[in-house]
Amino acid sequence: MIAYPEAPAADAMLAASQSNEHMLAFLNARRSFPAAALKEPGPNPEEVSQIVRMAMRVPDHRRLAPWRVIVFGGEARADAGEVFAARHLELNPNATLEELDRERRRFCCAPLVIAVISNPDGSHKTPVWEQELSVGALCFNLLLVANAAGWAGTWLTGWMAFDRQISREFGLHDHERFAGFIHLGTAKEKVKERPRPTTESLLSYWPGK
């Protein structure tokens, strides 16, 4: 198992910036890996706890931690698949066996799926939008930390992420919703680069008045 660094002490003085060429190369070439092509092993419970701890170091206005995570591993992945298949059949009474099988296998390719739940406080002065952005940052940071620890993964949603009945079955409260399912495991192979947006079309400087 890779050595996960300990959390800095609460009163530690941290470097404000740390130039790091390895980190730049890592960010320059990072990629998601298709969930269907993930294989065993995945991070064990101790590693999951370290990955989640580090991933939670995200900007979070007024320190609300407006999220929580639910991990699906082992048999729980197939059990989740049964919930998806049953709901799919309820919504689509003419569903084929093939479709139902696909729903059953949704969480089964990756050794581990981390569901990230957005849990905003609507009464707080930090806007819900900002709280949700923090949750998105957590999702991506989970991928980055897991990648840095040697795991491959991807951030998926799918129809289940938006179905209230499914949310309730997994214990989500009415104000909560899935921000994503982070599928983690070992990459079977290398992954091809995909076209990326160009800075020319998306970056501008405000010219001033």
Ligand X SMILES: Cc1cc2nc3c(=O)[nH]c(=O)nc-3n(C[C@H](O)[C@H](O)[C@H](O)COP(=O)(O)O)c2cc1C
Q: Would you tell me which residues interact with ligand X (CB under 6 A)?
A: 31-32, 154-158, 180
Judged by CB, which is closer to ligand X: 50, or 147? 147
Q: From the CB of 113, what's the least distance to ligand X, in Å? A: 12
Q: Give the residue at shortest CB distance from ligand X.
A: 32
The whole-angstrom separation of Cα 11 and Cα 55 is: 20
Q: From the CB of 31, what's the least distance to ligand X, in Å? A: 4
Q: From the CB of 191, what's the least distance to ligand X, in Å? A: 7
* All residues at 6 or more sequence positions from 180 whose CB lies less than 8 Å from its CB, including other chains: 115, 116, 139, 155, 156, 157, 161
Q: From the CB of 158, what's the least distance to ligand X, in Å? A: 4
Whether residue 181 contacts residue 107, with contact meaning beta carbons closer than 8 Å, is answered with: yes
Whether residue 92 contacts residue 43, with contact meaning beta carbons closer than 8 Å, is answered with: no
Judged by CB, which is closer to ligand X: 33, or 73? 33
Judged by CB, which is closer to ligand X: 32, or 126? 32
184: number of CA atoms within 13 Å, CB side? 32
